[in-house]
Amino acid sequence: MGPRVMLRAAGPADWRSWRALREASRDFLKPWEPEWPKNALTYGFFCGLLRRHWRDWRQGKAYAFFVFRYGADDRPDELIGGITLSDVQRGIAQKGTLGYWIGKPYAGEGLMAETAGLVCDFAFETLKLHRIEASCMPNNEPSKRLLKRLGFAEEGYAKAYLRINGAWHDHVLWGKNSTTRD
Number of domains in the chain: 1
Please indicate, yes or no, if residue 104 is contained in any of the structural domains: yes
Please indicate, yes or no, if residue 54 is contained in any of the structural domains: yes
Please indicate, yes or no, if residue 137 is contained in any of the structural domains: no
Q: What is the pLDDT of residue 27?
A: 97
Closest CA to 131 of 92, 167, 100: 92
Closest CA to 80 of 18, 148, 161: 18
Residue 83 sits in which domain range? 5-129
Q: What is the pLDDT of residue 182?
A: 52
Please indicate, yes or no, if residue 101 is contained in any of the structural domains: yes
Q: How far is CA 18 from the centre of its chain?
A: 14
b or e along 30-59 (b: 16 or more beta carbons within 10 Å of the residue's beta carbon)?
eebeeeeeeebbeeebbeebbeebeebeee
Q: What is the pLDDT of residue 101?
A: 98
Render pLDDT for 98-110 as a digit per residue (tens, 0 to 9).
999 999 999 999 9
Please indicate, yes or no, if residue 86 is contained in any of the structural domains: yes
Render pLDDT for 139-164 as a digit per residue (tens, 0 to 9).
999 999 999 999 999 999 999 999 99
In the chain, which residues have pLDDT < 70?
A: 71-76, 181-182
Q: What is the pLDDT of residue 77?
A: 77
